[in-house]
Amino acid sequence: MIEGSVLIVGSGPSGLAAAIALGKQGVKARIVDSASGPAESSRALAVQARSLEIFDLWGIVDDVTSRGLPMHGVRLYGEDKRLLVQMRLGELPTRYPYMLSLPQSETEKVLIDHVKELGFNIERDTELTDIDFDSEGCMVKLQKSNGEQEEARFQWVIGCDGAHSTVRRLSHAEFEGKEYPQQFLLADVRINWPLAPNEAHIFTAPEGILACFPMPGGYYRVVANKPKGETEPAPDIDEVRRLMTTRGPKEFQVDDLKWSSNFFIHARLVESMQRGRVFLVGDAAHIHSPALGQGMNTGIQDAANLGWKLALVVKGLASEALLESYSNERWPVERGVLSQTDFTTRVMDGENRFFAWLRDLIAPVILANKRVSAHVRELVSELAVGYTDSPIVLPYKGDLPFKPGERLPDATVTKNGHDIRLYELLRDPGHHLLLMADQWTDPQVTAIFNGEMTVHSIRRKTSDEALVLQDSKGEIVSLFGWDCACLIRPDGYVGAVSGIADVGSMLEEYSRKIHVIPTAMRSKASLM
């Protein structure tokens, strides 16, 4: 592990994910948090399918799914209690075709355990109070709750310090956007009713919406919009009951309030997610309405995108120019999330008759179309997120069911007679090169990435040669075709694809794109 170059500020889901993404690639960061312990409240509930896939690549997905409750669908009811739309998640093209319901505090517990396993120490009661950066590094001031102060220098700072980010303020990043003229009530309660379990139920009424999401342990998260008042105390069970009576189903019993909060929402996004040697990740860079359950998930995806790039730079294998692709790739995704969540919030609460008309009459017709509903499902699950227009992805003119820059779909191959998934193979650090050809040998290719790439040769037939992987189910050939190569980035996205004869030139071109420093220059730099 390389230590001493990176400071992560904040140990919420974004900071923890940033630590894992770096740690997996052999770079250890200092991680500080002003709070004395992890937050205990449930907050973000939805873990989207793409986050589960990232957790799969990190080898922690079973710890997450075993604690949560898979939500298999969403039902939207009109003002007359008629079912308007039913969205089934079971057809999502992933090993995790659902939205996992898990309180954020539980997701954080799994991430914390893994951060510790990787050898990180979370320094609690330690607040970043000042930061000054130039082209060489960042000077920061850390203040402990016992009064101790420390000044320290880092090459890079990752600001994961949430919606009120000090790192964002001190790096003078604008946080443009708007505040919504309403607030949301959140309450975790028990509900008894005859409605389908393991599905979310969203009710609309002239006064606003009421959404009920199933949670582990027989609870539901109730979310309702209401007019913004002064700061009010956390809602009590009577307020939840009142809202359910006016907006909810005809039959229900509600009790046992476990947690509740009033939640003010904003839609804001920084101009760029990088300010020199400072990166902004998660809520520090973008905040939006909780509609569609994107909040925590986007922060995890930001961290997965930044982690491998920063690790290559810290290890001296790529130049700093690679880091510009973090904001280039993630900013357009966040802009899309802001507009999708904004549109959904306005349509769902029917803030005017036009939006109510869209919701009640147009949405059911549009969403009855299979292609449209598949697209919406894949957007919400974040499986549709990709970087096909990224300057560091190599375009490919051949015929494939996916484009370079999109996530690699999982598939099963056989190793020594046992099934193994591609996502399990990708858990080793660095890039992964999949070679789909019955005959191919060129040990030269690994030299380009200087050991930062694992090569997986996949054959169609069993033979006595040193066979590593076999496409025994034909999943690989249907995904990629044959006699070709596919280069996978450490965050599980396809970086480049080529015919088998062009692997060498593809790797050279890709390594130029991601600013890999040629070996000779690297050794010269380390001699200086």
CB of 18 to ligand FAD, least distance (A): 9
* Region of 9-17, 145-153, 320-328, 363-371 interacting with ligand FAD (CB under 6 A): 9-17
Contact set for ligand FAD, span 23-52 (CB under 6 A):
32-35, 43-45
* Region of 154-162, 375-383, 406-414, 451-459 interacting with ligand FAD (CB under 6 A): 154-162
Q: Is 74 in the site for ligand FAD (CB under 6 A)?
A: no
Q: Which of 254, 179, 170 is nearest to 210 (CA)?
A: 254
When binding is defined by CB under 6 A, the residue of 128, 209, 383, 479 that contacts ligand FAD is 128
Q: Is 10 in the site for ligand FAD (CB under 6 A)?
A: yes
When binding is defined by CB under 6 A, the residue of 103, 293, 492, 495 that contacts ligand FAD is 293
Give yes or no for a contact between 48 and 290, defined as CB atoms under 8 angstroms apart.
no
Question: Which tokens in the block code for residue 522?
Answer: 């690297």
CB of 444 to ligand FAD, least distance (A): 42
What region does 147 belong to: left with phi over 0, alpha with psi -120 to 50, or beta? Answer: left
Q: Which of 273, 291, 382, 290 is nearest to 330 (CA)?
A: 273
CB of 124 to ligand FAD, least distance (A): 9
Give the orientation angle of helix 104-117 with respect to helix 13-23, to 10 degrees.
30
Q: Is 15 in the site for ligand FAD (CB under 6 A)?
A: yes
Size of the site for ligand FAD (CB under 6 A): 32
For ligand FAD, which is the closer residue by CB, 378 or 382? 382
Give yes or no for a contact between 6 and 29, defined as CB atoms under 8 angstroms apart.
yes
Apex 125 CA angle, 121 and 130, nearest 5: 100
CB of 344 to ligand FAD, least distance (A): 12
CB of 207 to ligand FAD, least distance (A): 20
Our separate counts of H helices and E strands in the chain read 16, 27
* Residues in CB range of 414: below 8 A, 6 or more apart: 420, 469, 470, 471, 472, 473
Q: Is 261 in the site for ligand FAD (CB under 6 A)?
A: yes
d(C-alpha 389, C-alpha 469), whole Å:
32
For ligand FAD, which is the closer residue by CB, 264 or 354? 264
When binding is defined by CB under 6 A, the residue of 25, 166, 301, 381 that contacts ligand FAD is 166
CB of 450 to ligand FAD, least distance (A): 33
Q: Is 200 in the site for ligand FAD (CB under 6 A)?
A: no
Question: Which tokens in the block code for residue 77?
Answer: 């009811």
CB of 225 to ligand FAD, least distance (A): 13
Q: Is 9 in the site for ligand FAD (CB under 6 A)?
A: yes
Measured over the CA atoms of residue 137, residue 138, residue 144 and residue 147, the dihedral's sign is positive
Q: How many CB atoms lie within 10 A of CB 63?
A: 16
When binding is defined by CB under 6 A, the residue of 6, 8, 13, 19 that contacts ligand FAD is 13
Contact set for ligand FAD, span 425-484 (CB under 6 A):
none
Q: How many CB atoms lie within 10 A of CB 416?
A: 9
Question: How would DSSP label each residue in 9-75?
Answer: E--SHHHHHHHHHHHTTTB--EEE-SSSS---S----EE-HHHHHHHHHTT-HHHHHTTSEEE-EEE
The amino acid that residue 102 corresponds to is: L
Give yes or no for a contact between 31 and 122, defined as CB atoms under 8 angstroms apart.
yes
Q: Is 334 in the site for ligand FAD (CB under 6 A)?
A: no
CB of 233 to ligand FAD, least distance (A): 14
Contact set for ligand FAD, span 95-114 (CB under 6 A):
104
Q: Is 295 in the site for ligand FAD (CB under 6 A)?
A: yes
Q: How do 278-280 and 274-275 pair as beta strands? A: antiparallel
Q: Is 186 in the site for ligand FAD (CB under 6 A)?
A: yes
CB of 237 to ligand FAD, least distance (A): 18
CB of 174 to ligand FAD, least distance (A): 18
For ligand FAD, which is the closer residue by CB, 303 or 323? 303
Give yes or no for a contact between 112 and 16, defined as CB atoms under 8 angstroms apart.
yes
Instruction: Provide the residue count of the chain.
Output: 528
* Region of 155-163, 200-208, 398-406, 436-444 interacting with ligand FAD (CB under 6 A): 155-163
Question: Which tokens in the block code for residue 375?
Answer: 């697209």
Residue carrying the six token digits 């505040």: 179
Question: Which tokens in the block code for residue 154?
Answer: 């880092």
Q: Which residues form the interface with ligand FAD (CB under 6 A)?
A: 9-15, 32-35, 43-45, 104, 127-128, 160-162, 166, 186, 261, 263, 282-283, 290, 293-296, 299
